[in-house]
Amino acid sequence: MEKQEQQKVSRLVFVLIPFQGHINPMLQLATILYAKGFSITIIHPQFNSPNSSNHPEFTFIPISDNLPKSQVSAGDLFGIVSALNKNCEGPLTECIQEMLKAEDPHDRISCIVYDSTMCFSQSVADHLKLPGICVRTSPAATMLAFAVFPGLHEQGYISFLESMSLDRVSDLLSLMLKELAASMKKITTDGVLELRAAIADSVKKCSALIVNTVDFLEQEALTKVEELFSASAFTIGPFHKLVPTISSSLLKEDTNCISWLNKQAPKSVIYVSFGSIASIDEKELLETAWGLANCEKPFLWVVRPGLVRGSNCLELLPINFQDSVGESGCIVEWAP
């Protein structure tokens, strides 16, 4: 009997959100836990599916997301996240139910580990009577934005933050939350508020919270997070320092920039990237270009296809731009 017990393996079901900056740390965390003896299943939307061949030790299962192409091409970040939370709950429930029916007694699902922005996963976990572990792929301080987001309490979205308001963040001044909250006033549609409320609610209900950070760097923020969300927070980051480097890039990487970087003095290069989803307009592209040119510092700038909606970004740059920066600037469509 004891020998049989030792052979049992706990399976963790990871739920990814299909954005580059979230996929990487989630797969890194999965790799960390796999090394500790867990078996791993990765469930992900069909949009921006990760390359399963990079992780042959994991089981990858795509689920339907029903994202309209028009919404994806528009680069509407909050719209995409809201749609994923709405559209994926049913498919995720069905997927895990099928896994439970076919479950190997020596490889049982122990919990659902989900990206905090895929907050519907906690409802699925509750429905299936499985523990839900929420993962914040960014620092703990970012979670405090939910507590001070203007208008939430007044509109009745979050009831458990009754003692917090924008005017009562004096104990968090060192984290500059007033500035953060002020910048977020620009994004106050009902959909955004509901999404942020849902994320906060899922954190409150989760069995545990894993944060991609280091305890000694964010002690103040972590203490406040545990107080506000009544969650046990575990800091086991930074994830990328604990696992081998494995490329999970959604876009083709241009490695030519590495040889250019090797020619520059240490710590002299400005790196600019707006990520894999965000978009800007032509004016902002040109402002960024001339800002980099005028700073007279070496720079590596990622100008991915689709950064400016409906345009070939590189064709929008002035003809004399590359001449003005010469060898001091390197522009790639995507960096390693």
- Max Cα separation, the chain? 76
Report yes or no: 152 and 184 within 8 Å, Cβ to Cβ.
no
- The type of residue at 87 is N
Phi-psi region of 333 (alpha: psi -120 to 50; beta: other; left: phi over 0): alpha
- The type of residue at 269 is V
Tokens of 69: 């192409």
Report yes or no: 21 and 276 within 8 Å, Cβ to Cβ.
yes
Q: Measure the CA angle with vertex 163, ends 160 and 167; round to 5°.
A: 130
Alpha-carbon distance 131 to 112, whole Å?
Answer: 6
Report yes or no: 132 and 125 within 8 Å, Cβ to Cβ.
yes
133: phi then psi, degrees, rounded to nearest 5: -110, 120
CB neighbours (10 Å) of residue 74? 14
Report yes or no: 132 and 207 within 8 Å, Cβ to Cβ.
yes
Alpha-carbon distance 234 to 207, whole Å?
Answer: 11
Q: With the CA atoms of 215, 218, 221 and 224 taken in that order, what torsion angle do they form, in degrees rounded to the nearest 10?
A: 30
Q: Which residues are catalytic?
A: 22, 115
Q: Measure the CA angle with vertex 165, ends 162 and 170; round to 5°.
A: 120
